[in-house]
């Protein structure tokens, strides 16, 4: 008697599981088919996708190569390479940005670098496609070739 009861109880539980499975087949699909609908995906404005250094039309940026973002980065994602140049106006040596290297592969997207930047020279874009075939391609140079520091205009007070 116990054998027959366990047999029907097992069949009943199997049918319960099949019922739940069949409900999942009938429900509408909510999965986004990412590569196929690439133009239809619009991330939120606050999404931290990729670190960028904005340049103006004259290929100038705001980074003064102070290195605060590099010091505050918790895992060494940012590397600021600077060089010394003579300033024509003052005749003194001045630190100038040579390369601003950013490793997407080790970034935790914590935004400490953008918060700590006193010049607001770096920011976040919504680009979230970081897939590469080699790890070396994940290291990006954010400043464009031949770019320079934005010249600050002197404010004349009246």
pLDDT at 153 over 70: no
How many domains does one find in the chain?
A: 1
More confident residue, 30 or 125: 125
Q: Does a structural domain hold residue 120?
A: yes
Q: Which run of H or of E encompasses 8?
A: helix 2-26
Looking at the chain, the number of H-run helices and the number of E-run strands are 3, 7
More confident residue, 153 or 125: 125
Q: What is the pLDDT of residues 12-52, one digit of tens each?
A: 999 999 998 999 889 888 777 777 777 777 778 888 888 99
Least confident of 34-43, 48-57, 65-74, 133-142: 34-43
Q: Does a structural domain hold residue 12?
A: no
CATH number of the domain that 55 lies in? 3.30.70.3270
d(CA 125, CA 59): 18
d(CA 1, CA 6): 9
Q: Does a structural domain hold residue 131?
A: yes
Query: How many other CB atoms are found less than 10 A from the CB of residue 24?
Result: 7
Q: Does a structural domain hold residue 62?
A: yes
pTM strictly above 0.85 = no
Q: Does a structural domain hold residue 22?
A: no
Q: Does a structural domain hold residue 154?
A: no
pLDDT at 7 over 60: yes
Backbone torsions φ then ψ of 8, nearest 5 degrees: -70, -35
CB distance 43 to 128 below 8 Å: yes
pLDDT at 107 over 80: yes
Q: Does a structural domain hold residue 14?
A: no
d(CA 140, CA 50): 10
Q: Which residue range forms the structural domain that includes residue 65?
A: 44-149
Q: Does a structural domain hold residue 30?
A: no
């Amino acid at each position: 008697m116990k054998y027959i009861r366990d047999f029907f109880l097992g069949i009943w539980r199997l049918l319960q599981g099949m019922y739940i499975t069949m409900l999942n087949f009938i429900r509408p699909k909510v999965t986004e088919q990412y590569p196929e609908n690439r133009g239809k995906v619009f991330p939120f404005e606050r999404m931290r996708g990729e670190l960028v250094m904005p340049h103006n039309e004259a290929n100038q940026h705001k980074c003064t190569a102070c290195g605060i973002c590099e010091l505050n980065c918790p895992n060494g994602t940012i590397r600021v390479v600077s060089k010394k140049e003579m300033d024509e106006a003052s005749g003194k040596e001045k630190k100038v940005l040579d390369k601003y290297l950013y490793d997407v592969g080790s970034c935790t997207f914590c935004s400490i670098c953008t918060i700590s930047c006193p010049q607001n020279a770096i920011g976040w874009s919504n680009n979230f496609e970081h897939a590469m075939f080699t790890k070396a391609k994940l290291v990006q140079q954010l400043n464009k070739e031949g770019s320079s520091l934005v010249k600050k205009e002197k404010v004349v007070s009246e």
